[in-house]
């Protein structure tokens, strides 16, 4: 079987790694990198660490408005489909790359296989929600990470081609957590944490908050950004913040002196895994990091009003927070009762890549 895989952003690089390994044993995969994430710290390092094959095509689309970026991708992906004549296309998650790939394939009557189908935050203001809903409704196979995702699709009248494969990100965490631990134990992790002033911060395991901020609903709102960074400055432990280059530019005008917030450049997957596992708590607006924290049994506070990963909220492992200084501080300093409860096995058994591969080979012929 010949398949085109569309990737373009950090979470997609991570999800694609285990599937590519399985699928390529007996099949042909054409890997297309849209260039949505093009910074070396957010792209190249993931290919190196996770053993992802070099892309056959790099569209180098880069940053742009949603419409312009998606349109450029759509045009270039269509050309590749006409040239390669694949049996199907696999798309991951909920980015503009996801939607562009799905649209291009669907219009040319190429079967679309959507990994991480069925997620819903029920907030249509989020571009990610728009992308995932539209992609689901034009996909031929909907490969769901949880039963909740299956149920969400059923509510929208979608039942054909829906399969609960488990979460492929769980596969990746299980495969790499020990590698990460070996590589960064004995203080080696600190050597790679150089802040914007070229200094190595003094941190101890379990005595820092690990934060990420990148959602447009937060970064495009000056007031929300101000509330978030004001809260970071009042927290009882240092806040380690790998920051997207775009967000770095946005915080320059906040007029907040950052003493408790340690800003570093985005880091590779293995180091991020180590930082997540050894943080006291994760504070984020990222869907992927919510899950990784859950898999690694690190408590999480999500700076959003909704989450598509409702399973992480069980037993208080994750908790949502409105974007207001005192609310964030109350949520972060909550009593952590989650340790008293076992985690429900909501995300499968760590063999999602195998199940996805089987579903595509059986359903995509």
Active-site residue numbers? 214
Whole-angstrom distance, CA of residue 75 vs CA of residue 103: 10
State the DSSP H helix or E strand holding residue 14, giving kind and residue range, or none if neither.
Answer: helix 10-23
Distance from the Cα of residue 139 to its chain's centroid: 20
Beta strand 28-33 with 2-7 is parallel
> Which are the contacts of 16, defined by CB distance < 8 A and separation ≥ 6?
5, 7, 31, 52, 92
Kind of pairing, strands 281-284 and 300-302? parallel
Please report the beta strands in the chain, taking only residues with DSSP state E, as ranges in sequence order: 2-7, 28-33, 57-58, 88-92, 112-115, 141-144, 162-164, 209-212, 239-242, 261-264, 281-284, 300-302, 318-320
């Amino acid at each position: 079987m010949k398949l085109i895989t569309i990737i373009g952003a950090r979470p997609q690089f991570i999800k694609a790694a285990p599937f590519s390994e399985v699928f390529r044993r007996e099949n042909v995969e054409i890997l297309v990198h849209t260039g949505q994430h093009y910074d070396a710290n957010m792209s190249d390092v993931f290919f190196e660490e996770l053993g992802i094959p070099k892309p056959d095509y790099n569209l180098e689309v880069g940053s742009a408005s949603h419409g312009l970026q998606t349109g450029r991708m759509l045009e270039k992906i269509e050309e590749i489909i006409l040239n390669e004549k694949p049996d199907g296309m696999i798309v991951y998650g909920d980015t503009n790359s996801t939607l562009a790939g799905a649209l291009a394939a669907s219009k040319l009557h190429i079967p679309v296989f959507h990994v991480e189908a069925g997620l819903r935050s029920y907030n249509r203001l989020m571009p990610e929600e728009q992308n995932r809903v539209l992609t689901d409704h034009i996909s031929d196979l909907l490969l769901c990470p949880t039963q909740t995702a299956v149920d969400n699709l059923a509510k929208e009248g979608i039942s054909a081609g829906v399969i609960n494969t488990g979460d492929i990100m769980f596969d990746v965490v299980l495969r790499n957590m020990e590698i990460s631990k070996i590589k960064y134990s004995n203080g080696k992790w600190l050597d790679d944490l150089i802040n914007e002033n070229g200094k190595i911060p003094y941190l101890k395991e379990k005595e820092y908050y690990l934060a990420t901020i990148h959602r447009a609903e937060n970064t495009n709102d000056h007031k929300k950004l101000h509330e978030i960074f004001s809260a970071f400055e009042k927290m009882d432990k240092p806040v380690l913040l790998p920051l997207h280059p775009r967000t770095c530019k946005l915080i320059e005008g906040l007029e907040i002196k950052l003493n408790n917030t340690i800003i570093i450049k985005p880091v590779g997957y293995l180091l991020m895994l180590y930082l997540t596992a050894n943080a006291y708590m994760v504070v984020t607006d990222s869907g992927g990091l919510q899950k990784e924290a859950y898999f690694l049994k690190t408590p999480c506070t999500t700076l959003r009003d909704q989450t598509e990963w409702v399973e992480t909220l069980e037993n208080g492992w994750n908790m949502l927070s409105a974007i207001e200084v005192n609310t964030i501080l109350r949520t972060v300093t909550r009593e952590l009762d989650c340790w008293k409860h076992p985690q429900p096995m909501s995300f499968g058994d760590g063999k999602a890549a195998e199940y996805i591969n089987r579903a595509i080979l059986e359903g995509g012929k």
